[in-house]
Structure 1
Amino acid sequence: MATMADVARTAGVSVATVSHVLNGTRPVLPHTRQAVLDAVDALGYTPNTLARSLVTSRTRSIGLAVSAISNPYFTEILQGVEAAALDAGYSLLIADPHDDPGHERKVVQLLHERRVDGMIVAPSAEPRELVGYLRRHSVPTVFLDRRVDVHGTRDAAPDDAGTAAAPPPDAPCFDQVCAESTAPTALLVTHLAGLGHRRIGMIAGLPGLSTTGERVAGYREGLAAAGLDHDERLLVSGNSESAGAERATATLLGLPDPPTALVTANNAMTIGALRALRRHDRCVPDDIALCCFDDFAWADLFSPRLTAIAQPSRELGAMAVRVLLDRLAEPGRPARTVRLPCAFVHRTSCGCPDGQGRAGATRPTASTTLPEKGTAS
């Protein structure tokens, strides 16, 4: 079996140079790097990652806990995480917590026991046990898509300010990466109001998730911006699932004065709402207009085509990896929350002919990088 010394001898470089090329620990001249890679291919050299981890206390692996099997939305995020991790020379260990707090705690522990260098987690609605475990074991962690109230984490300045004091060793920082939710949801509501709708309903997500709270806040902000009263009967939880959205939509349609327009807060609930509308012989958008949070691959194939907020799913996954690698390289850096912008994808389910309405074809929202204040929005 070829060794690193064999690679160095064949490439005409030092063993240290081979290490820098394979581990990405120091810049190497392009022709030297290519010579090393050619030698690796010619000799069939395979790095001994186990031996290296014993020396460096690093396994160059990342644990990823997202509900990618039970929640299709996370599939593209997973692809972004995997691509960015592999590009940085890290392997990926994946577990599905099924959005269940107890199971979430178990799978994170299993990943940690496999000595991953850090963790990327899409937390459940009740992540107290999760946060407690990660804190006790000082696991470098990025919370993905959903923010968490990390009570006890000290205030920090934005990533590029460099003015905040680093947290003490017994209070590890938790970084967070998510998409904008409040302003995009408000945009959907004001768009529908601009088309003349005065009773706009919302199918909200699972209570306790930060994304649910932010999108409900955006719904209320949109109503206020349009000068519309908020009728609590028009805000119903679909629990972030298709079946829940079917029930919620039926509840809204059964009101004495049902909504003329509907906003759904994720892609699974959009499917459930459409099923309920079909079952009640309601045509979109003639009988009821529909806008949804989360664009998905077949949204443009529905009739009518779905007006939606598109999240940058792959970019979210890739950003989570970059933020985690920054944390591994500099453990004492201030905690940060990175928000990525969404896009308004204008089609016809809102009632606009051929997607040509007041909001335009595509309208991005602002992106911000925020200090972690220790509380979720």
Structure 2
Amino acid sequence: MTQKDVAERAGVSTSIVSYVINNGPRSVSPQTRRRVLRAVEELGYRPNKHAQMLTSGKWQSDAGVREFGIVVGGAPSIFARPFYGEILAGIYAEANQLRMRVRFIQFLEELADPLLFNELIHPEEVSGLLLFAVDRGYIQGSGAHIVSRILSRLDNVVCVERKWDELPAVIFDRAEAAHKAVTHLLNLGHRRIGFLGALDDRLTGYRHALFDHGIDFDERLVCTPSGGNTSAEGYVHISTLLQQPDPPTAVFACSDEVAIGIMGRLREEGLQVPDDMAMVGIDDIPYAAFLAPRLTTVQVPKAQLGAHGVRMLHDRAARPGEPSISVVLPTTLIVRDSCGSGGHSTLVTPGELSAMPQSTV
């Protein structure tokens, strides 16, 4: 495939194709640029400079993956958040252990550029790809189209932290984690428990925990802002629950960041955690153990999510054709001070959780 083929498909000269690919030296009208990029996408054209590097075998090895790519859902600000930063750290640590290297990190929407897509998403460029925080339930339209194109190019694709259809994945069970958190609050005697965070499987776990204890679901105690479980959302939206005629005595926060925001707002309102409102989060980010009060939370094995994803890529490259499997890593309730049970940090097993006596709050 050459620039001449692209030029013929787009109905332009090879010089125009070169200007588009190299972003100069001459400008090209937006309409012509779109025609050229459409031809690039349809033909799967890749500049020769990359093909020359690839023929050297620099990025592959018979022993398995040596360089792999990471495609990330969301925006670049995702890596400013400790939860995702720890997963990324796990990816790099395991890659170093396996003598692998990250070839690139790109955000999903960036790959709408067909030149960039064809440059990076190719079996001669990488031997595997991690889809990181790319969720089938949230990504539609152009994003879903990009994922479909990735899967048409690469066989070795593994999801980390979220699932995409039947692709192999390394995840944790959000519903189960929420169930643990809410069950703990129920076992402490709370009956009006708020839910604050994104609308996903965590709400399912919340509802199941209430059902298991014979408590009716009350939608007035549920607040599901459309953002990404951030501290700002907790700070702003806890007021929705506080303004209820009969506000909750406890809140399940869908992330520790949400819990941090809630605690800040409650402090400004003159309310104390856990005396006026108990709280449990999810994630166990590093800050959780140093808050005042220390945050009770469900620990997610964040670094292990990334590490298992890399290991799965490595093993699938070494043994192509084996059936796809997914791994669900366990979570652990860590009891600290924000729930009102007091005492030092404690790891609680599922059996101990179900056996906890109920008290009145």
> Structure 2-normalised TM-score?
0.71
SS of the residue aligned with 1:249?
helix
Tell whether the 8 Å contact from 1:105 to 1:133 is kept in structure 2 after alignment. no
- Cross-structure match for 2:69: 63
CA deviations over 1:80-99 (Å, ceiling 9, x no partner): 111111211111134253xx
Tell whether the 8 Å contact from 2:65 to 2:128 is kept in structure 1 after alignment. no
- Cross-structure match for 1:191: 184
Tell whether the 8 Å contact from 2:121 to 2:154 is kept in structure 1 after alignment. no
Q: Which amino acid aligns with 1:51?
A: S
Find the partner of 1:53 among 42, 50, 58.
58
Distance 1:61 1:229 in 2: 51
Once the 2 structures are TM-superposed, how far is the Cα of residue 362 of structure 1 from its aligned partner?
1.0
Question: Does 1:222 find its partner at 2:209?
Answer: yes
- Cross-structure match for 2:355: none
Find the partner of 1:93 among 103, 126, 138.
103
Question: Does 1:363 find its partner at 2:356?
Answer: no
- Cross-structure match for 1:132: 148
Tell whether the 8 Å contact from 2:231 to 2:260 is kept in structure 1 after alignment. yes
> Structure 1-normalised TM-score?
0.68
Once the 2 structures are TM-superposed, how far is the Cα of residue 139 of structure 1 from its aligned partner?
4.3
Distance 1:307 1:134 in 2: 40
Q: Which amino acid aligns with 1:60?
A: R
Find the partner of 2:273 among 246, 266, 284.
284
Note the 1:99-178 alignment, pairs <5 A. 102-103=109-110, 111-112=120-121, 115-122=125-132, 123-124=134-135, 125-126=138-139, 127-150=143-166, 174-178=167-171
Find the partner of 2:219 among 210, 216, 232.
232
Once the 2 structures are TM-superposed, how far is the Cα of residue 189 of structure 1 from its aligned partner?
0.9
Q: Taking structure 1 as reference, are residues 305 and 175 closer, same or farther at Cα in structure 2, changes over 3 Å only?
A: same
Structure 2 unaligned spans of 5+? 1-52, 352-361
Distance 1:225 1:108 in 2: 48
Distance 1:56 1:344 in 2: 42
SS of the residue aligned with 2:207?
helix
Distance 1:84 1:330 in 2: 19
Once the 2 structures are TM-superposed, how far is the Cα of residue 278 of structure 1 from its aligned partner?
2.2
Q: Which amino acid aligns with 2:70?
A: L
Distance 2:106 2:273 in 1: 35
SS of the residue aligned with 1:131?
helix
Distance 2:157 2:104 in 1: 14
Distance 2:120 2:341 in 1: 48
Distance 2:149 2:303 in 1: 28
Q: Which amino acid aligns with 1:90?
A: M
Q: Which amino acid aligns with 1:300?
A: A
